[in-house]
A and B are shown apart, each in its own frame.
Chain A
Amino acid sequence: MKLRGIAIIVVIAVVVFIYNAAYIVDETEQVIITQFGRIVGTPKKDPGLKFKVPFIQKANFFAKNLLDWDGDPGQIPTLDKTFIWVDTFARWKIIDPIKFFQTVNNRFNAIGKLNDIIDPAVRNFITSYRLIDAVRKSNRELDTREVGLETSETAPRSYYTITIGREKITQGILEQAQPKLAQFGIELVDVKIKRINYVEEVRKSVYGRMIAERKQIAEKFRSEGKGEAQKIRGEKERDLQEIESEAYRKAQEIKGGADAEATLIYADSYGVDPEFYSFVQTLEIYSKALDDKNTLILSTDSEFLKYLKGYAK
């Protein structure tokens, strides 16, 4: 009975020891073993079941995977004195857990360090370049043409031309911040600009500018419409005149030709005996031109009445 009691105590003690000696390293973790606060051995980066000296040694867990950092959005003036909100984020890793353990110890402290280092770097870069450099990434040709507008003047090209661009700016921020973080066992993987926006007052004036620009384009459309319409009306007038005069010309030509032909015919025919033509034609005119409204006063000298006073003379 006594032996059995001792055995139970031994079993429990062994269980507790083993439980304390074993620890599990997850896929996402790495571990540093410390003995009374002093680091012992190399960091355990492989996942799996590990053992340490129970009670004396302590396992300290650190993340091994990619971690996030979200910047504090802030108002920063650009080189061209425009105030913008810049919101950045970054990704980082603990590559040297020993340094990390010695200098910052935990993630919350690390975030503080990242804040202290990345935020000023962002500020430095944003203030050193024009706004357009933070917005654009290339000098790709912008399509500012208005659909349906015949002529559109483009803004001076240099206004939208960048010298380095957003990707190079974030690259620069990364390069500036990276060496300063190495001492904490942190590798900064990348820094990205999540958002850039105008601050409220600037935004209002930008809206004003956009509205003015639109209005001007609208007016241009209207005036183009008017111009186009007038052009068409002018064409109408011209075509009308052209058609009418053309028709008149053709008609006159045709008539002239006909007159000429008729004249020729008459001349050919009547030319044989103009005297006789004159006689016949005159007689015809008499019979057509005179009627009962005409009063005829005839002298007995006339050919017609010459027989009235006798037939021999």
Chain B
Amino acid sequence: MSWDWDKLKQQQHGRGGAPPQMDDIIDRFKKFKLPGGPLIIVVIIAIFIASTTFYTVKQDEVGIVQLFGRYVRTTEPGLNFKLPLGVEKVTKVNVRRIQTEEFGFTSNQPDRGSRFRSTGENTNVALMLTGDLNVAVVPWIVQYRVKNPYDFLFKVRNIRQLLIDMSEASMRLVVGDRSINEVISKRDEIAVEAKGLLQKELDQAETGIQIVTIEMKRTNVPAPVQPSFNEVNQATQEKEQMIYQAKEDYNRAIPAARGEAERTIRAAEGYALNRVNRAKGDAARFTAVYDEYVKAKDVTKRRLYLETLRELYPRLGPKYIVDSDQKNFLPLLNMGNQIGVEK
């Protein structure tokens, strides 16, 4: 530090004229007979001073330069120069890297997250009251980057804590205005609204932080309530199943019945054709015979009668001829016995 002030003193006196004290010092140095001579000391000092005049800014960073504490400029990636010996101070801020804060759960990163928050704390972060006064477990992550390094460095003390607190407050504000069902099923909507809310707050506080994304993890109900929620899902399935079974019954019976009905109708149509055709046939036959009959009525009638008998009588069973004068023969005939024997 004292070198700093020597330099300063040099500058101040330099303005008013040649510094006589300097000569004294140099003279004193000259008096010492150090090995290698005073030149080496001068060179070492010069190198030391020179080494503090340049610095590199990496590709994804910017350098914020403060001259005696006052912000003077922002430098771009590459090799940059500044005034040496702490006159100008550089703070490098990564403006491209996207950083992540996790809420309500811990991923496997072994670094900061786990150190700051115990598991008990974790569940409390995620437990939220919903608009219908139920309790939901809402874990989420916030990804952000620095968009304004000046604000980021100088406007807020303990900026990470502010980001964490604000994220929680915004998320709870959004979840507080949703029903438990919405919290579970409409996560995207919540993420979008929370992002807008959080960004607004961060801009108001001049944090220089830009929220890249808010991503909702699996929202859920607390573990003790979980089984009953699953039961509802199961009941939904059961309902579907019952309906499908009934539909199955329906589908099994109805098309078959339609076919059956079709068959009945077709059969009736067949009957109709049959009936009409037969009628027509019978009629045609009768008409044909009748036409001939008309020509010779008596003889045709006799012929028909006798032809029928000729064909019929030989086929008949026992025949008894009873004289019309013999009246008491009939009762003696044992007809039943006769038939029995025949069988």
Identify the A interface with B (CB < 8 A).
Answer: 4, 7-8, 10-11, 14-15, 18-19, 22, 24-29, 46-49, 63, 65-68, 70, 89, 91, 131-132, 135-138, 140, 142-148, 155, 160, 166-167, 189, 192-198, 203, 206-207, 210-211, 214-215, 217-222, 224-226, 228-233, 235-236, 239-240, 243-244, 246-248, 250-255, 257-259, 261-263, 265-266, 268-270, 272-273, 276-277, 279-280, 283-284, 286-287, 290-301, 303-305, 308-309
A195, A206, A308: the one contacting B135 at CB < 8 Å is A206
Q: Give the number of chain B interface residues (Cβ < 8 Å).
A: 130
**Closest Cβ of chain B: how far from A163's Cβ, in Å?**
15
Q: How far is the CB of B296 from chain A (nearest CB, A)?
A: 13
Let me know if B290 and A272 touch, CB within 8 A: yes
Residue from the list B161, B268, B293, B321 in contact with A308, Cβ < 8 A: B321
Q: Judging by beta carbons under 8 Å apart, are A89 and B287 in contact?
A: no
Secondary structure call for the A interface: helix
B335: nearest residue on chain A (CB-CB)?
A: A295
> A252–B267 Cα gap in the complex (Å)?
11
Residue B60 CB within 8 A of the other chain: no
Residues B71 and A269 in contact, CB atoms below 8 Å apart = no
**What is B's interface to A at a CB cutoff of 8 Å?**
2, 5-6, 8-9, 12, 20-21, 24-25, 27-28, 66-71, 124-125, 127-135, 153-158, 161-162, 165-166, 168-169, 172-173, 176-182, 185-186, 205-206, 221-222, 224-225, 227-229, 231-232, 234-236, 238-243, 245-247, 249-250, 253-254, 257-258, 260-262, 264-265, 267-269, 271-276, 278-280, 282-284, 286-287, 289-290, 293, 301, 304-305, 308-309, 311-313, 315-324, 330, 333, 335, 338-339, 342
Instruction: Tell me the number of A-to-B contacts counted with CB atoms below 8 Å.
Output: 371
A136 & B279 in contact (Cβ 8 Å cutoff): no
Question: Are A265 and B239 in touch, CB under 8 angstroms?
Answer: no
A138-B177, A193-B169 given as contacts; is B257 within 8 A of A68 (CB)?
A: no
Collect the chain A residues with CB atoms within 8 Å of residue B305's CB: 279, 283, 303
Q: Are A18 and B133 in contact (CB under 8 A)?
A: no
Contacts of A194 in B (CB 8 A): 165, 168-169, 172
- B69 and A49 form a contact (CB under 8 A): yes
Closest Cβ of chain B to A42, distance in Å, is: 18
